[in-house]
Structure 1
Amino acid sequence: MKTSKARVELRSDGKKVVINACSEPCPIERGMRIIGGKWKGSILWHLQDGPVRFNDLARQLGGASKKMVNQRLKEMEEIGLVERKVLSTRPVAIAYEITDFGRSSLTVLEQLKDWAEVNGL
């Protein structure tokens, strides 16, 4: 539920305009804060078919540095989009898996992918 405060402003031509300002971020903004960060959508997309080891995921992302992938995964783990699994300690092997919450974003990402393809982006 969004809360808005209406206020009236005068334009330079003297006409009154009603401005609706949200007192908190709208649902689009809140959603973008969750999945809109650089590489987040791609990470979720690559995890949709099952757990992926860190190095494999970093390789699949191509242009992202391992440091960046690690940063994004930590952020995503904190908000519950992905889960970190320790596979072995010697040698260290870590895999990441999408959570149900993360999986719920895949419909939006699929629509974004389709939109980009249709528009030649």
Structure 2
Amino acid sequence: MKIQLEVQDHSKCHMNERCNKYEMCPINLVHKIISGKWKILILWYLMPNPLRFSDLRRKLPDVTQKMLTQQLRSLESHNLVYRKVYPVVPPKVEYGLTECGEKLIPVLESMYSYGVDYLQDNSLDSLKLDK
């Protein structure tokens, strides 16, 4: 079922209250779907083409196998990522963006551009980033 959303003035949006028209504020919904330590990076790396699990592990060396599996399953359950199993030996599994996931590409590209601008405007030494 597709819900038609109306663009609302941010000043009328109260994050601590649910939207009257929907069960959840749309921005809060998106936050819940893509929040997670690795989800945005997984989506970013899947943008150009599908990848195997091992390829994602190489691109995200700090993620554990268990965590990567959990994050991929969550993205899959929200229809952002698909999992394709090939009937070969040894088993081959690829992950890629669904049509729904591809709709996030402009958002991810904007986040990348913002990061570039932020790095140019701010001293890296002054940033206190969680590792």
Aligned to 2:48: 49
1: CA distance, partners of 2:105 / 2:33: 13
Instruction: Report the 3-state secondary structure (helix = DSSP H, G, I; strand = E; otherwise coil) of the residue aligned with 2:29.
Output: helix
Please say if residues 77 and 84 of structure 1, whose CA atoms lie closer than 8 Å, have aligned partners that are also in contact. Answer: yes
Question: What's the CA shift for 1:89?
Answer: 4.2
Which amino acid is the alignment partner of residue 110 of structure 1? E
Question: What's the CA shift for 1:92?
Answer: 1.6
Identity across matched positions, percent: 37
2: CA distance, partners of 1:92 / 1:84: 13
Matching of residues 4-15 of structure 1 within 5 Å: none
Which amino acid is the alignment partner of residue 54 of structure 1? F
Aligned to 1:64: 63
Aligned to 1:22: 17
Aligned to 1:93: 92
Aligned to 2:39: 40
1: CA distance, partners of 2:76 / 2:118: 32
CA RMSD in angstroms comes to 1.9
Task: Normalising by structure 1, report the TM-score.
Answer: 0.76
2: CA distance, partners of 1:46 / 1:107: 14
2: CA distance, partners of 1:107 / 1:117: 15
Instruction: State the aligned residue count.
Output: 104
Query: What are the Cα deviations for residues 41-86 of structure 1, in whole angstroms up to 9, with x where unaligned?
Result: 1111111112101101111112111111111011111110111011
Confirm whether residue 109 of structure 1 aligns to residue 108 of structure 2.
Answer: yes
Please say if residues 54 and 95 of structure 1, whose CA atoms lie closer than 8 Å, have aligned partners that are also in contact. Answer: yes
Gaps of 5+ in 1: 3-19
Task: Normalising by structure 2, report the TM-score.
Answer: 0.71
Gaps of 5+ in 2: 7-13, 125-131
Compare the two structures and name the one with the higher strand fraction. 1
